[in-house]
Structure 1
């Protein structure tokens, strides 16, 4: 589903209504916020019927005499209860005043507004931006705001396309530093390093490192997998022990409490070290316990490394993963190697 936010600078003229209707249809917009429409209250029903017949709408005429801002959506795509002004106001306060808000990644020219003048009288500026909070990033961090051409306005429309994240790619091998501190890691490396796998020295080293990958994955699955569950379990054990000590303190329980505290610290530092390495945040010291921050950065990095849309050779935007894969094969197959070879080697791997 695609949404649009546009400082339209007037839609009273019939040609603007026709062009806006066509634009919404071409971009498959199902939700739109239109600012500075300059449509008077008694004309809004007629204008909206010309542009988006059958759509629902909200406006700010009662709150601002000259507001004339419209929020429209296709009810066949969006469901739920009507949005009240109080809900919108709470959203504004929460996003802009009380929580950390960041600007979306964006594409197109930096300056998205101009006064339409020529020569030295021309002024350009970046007046409109789109923002999101950490909750938005966790669900829609892959979304990019596209600033389209101004068309019938002097402000560029902001296009936001919501689509699910596809992650069918094969995950690459990552070495985690926490493995080094485990008792079985060095013996594991020594056993693999005694093996001779090739006569060439460089190839021998490379093959030894490759042979460490499956063994390291086994170690990780046995000792470091589900760290969050281990932390929660250790925390519950600690609380249970402290309740027992409060009623019947014994040397055994006190010793178990000390061990539980050590285990909690151990798993907490291991989790934080892994998040720090994944997020590549160098300046945060281990022990700061910024797990939510680390997780947000990891998610943002993961979203950035994906290809969610491309423009085909025919000039059509593609969003479906299968069509994107086929377009890559078509593009590079004609340039590097015979297409038959590309299809048989790459069709199941992209």
Structure 2
């Protein structure tokens, strides 16, 4: 096992995210049953980049002693409204202070001081959200485009150097460093990691951590009342809502209504019984 683990480490292979049954092998002996996790689905970093939403589902073995492992690729990403989180790189926007002061100084309808503060905070949040979308929306693509532009200018500069290309290369480098730093801060916060173990530029490391966190928390499918797997996100939402409506919205037939008079009477009887016990 130590040699096998060393082989996986040298080959940069790790387990794909697992769903379904945990144990994958059984000896099928009633008198001496044994269950083990023998079967695994392995992948490398390139696989995770190309298929970030792929999962492995271990199903019931049926007549075999090994559980079949099914790798599922198709997953339609759902565009959902996420809560806004403030990142420090938003303050580097050239219009940050100007737009924030403008939204903060807008007149507020008549209300208490706490109400006024809440309204101003809401407007400041909307301003930060808009500046983030305008200046840092799709930060990965902007960082990649800035790097490609920098390399193109550098190729021209190293072939036919000129003062104009030197200035262009300086501006392009500053622009790329700006987006690269913002991207690193973004993935650092999203990855929820407070330590650095892979050097100074950890954007790729944080990106992988974010993707792994997303896959672990993702509900890939649910099993309905007939034992069928449901992968459609809209149907999964309906199943969850229906389950909790049935759990929390239905009346319990075992409960008995008690009037206020009965409650007072039972309370009085309980007090008298306690007094009698203490007196005895």
TM normalised by structure 1 equals 0.55
1:128 to 25, 39, 43: 39
What SS does the corresponding residue of 2:79 show, helix, strand or coil? coil
What SS does the corresponding residue of 1:274 show, helix, strand or coil? helix
Whether the 8 Å CA contact 2:146–2:175 is kept in 1: the answer is no
**Are positions 1:156 and 2:67 aligned together?**
yes
1:166 to 77, 80, 86: 77
Gaps of 5+ in 1: 1-94, 339-350
Q: How many residues align?
A: 239
2:213 to 301, 323, 327: 301
What SS does the corresponding residue of 2:70 show, helix, strand or coil? strand
Higher helix share: 2
**Are positions 1:327 and 2:239 aligned together?**
yes
**Are positions 1:141 and 2:55 aligned together?**
no
Please tell me the root mean square deviation across aligned C-alpha atoms, in Å. 3.6
What SS does the corresponding residue of 1:332 show, helix, strand or coil? helix
Corresponding residue of 1:207: 119
Structure 1 or 2, whichever has the larger Rg, is 2
Cα distance change on mapping 1:207 and 1:241 into 2, 3 Å? farther
Gaps of 5+ in 2: 1-6, 251-280
Please give the residue correspondences for 1:233-252 in structure 2 after superposition, counting only pairs within 5 Å: 233-245=149-161, 248=162, 250=163
Cα distance change on mapping 1:271 and 1:280 into 2, 3 Å? same
1:229 to 145, 154, 162: 145
**Are positions 1:184 and 2:95 aligned together?**
yes
Cα distance change on mapping 1:283 and 1:132 into 2, 3 Å? same
Aligned-residue offset at 1:297? 3.0
Equivalent-residue separation in structure 2 for 1:316 and 1:122 (angstroms): 28
What SS does the corresponding residue of 2:14 show, helix, strand or coil? strand
What SS does the corresponding residue of 2:244 show, helix, strand or coil? helix
Equivalent-residue separation in structure 2 for 1:202 and 1:181 (angstroms): 29
Aligned-residue offset at 1:229? 1.8
Whether the 8 Å CA contact 1:241–1:256 is kept in 2: the answer is no
Q: Deviations over 1:270-305 (max 9, x none)?
A: 222223223333323797334433333333333344
Cα distance change on mapping 1:244 and 1:144 into 2, 3 Å? closer
Higher RCO, Cα 8 Å, sep 6+: 1
Cα distance change on mapping 1:165 and 1:302 into 2, 3 Å? farther
TM normalised by structure 2 equals 0.67
What SS does the corresponding residue of 1:146 show, helix, strand or coil? strand
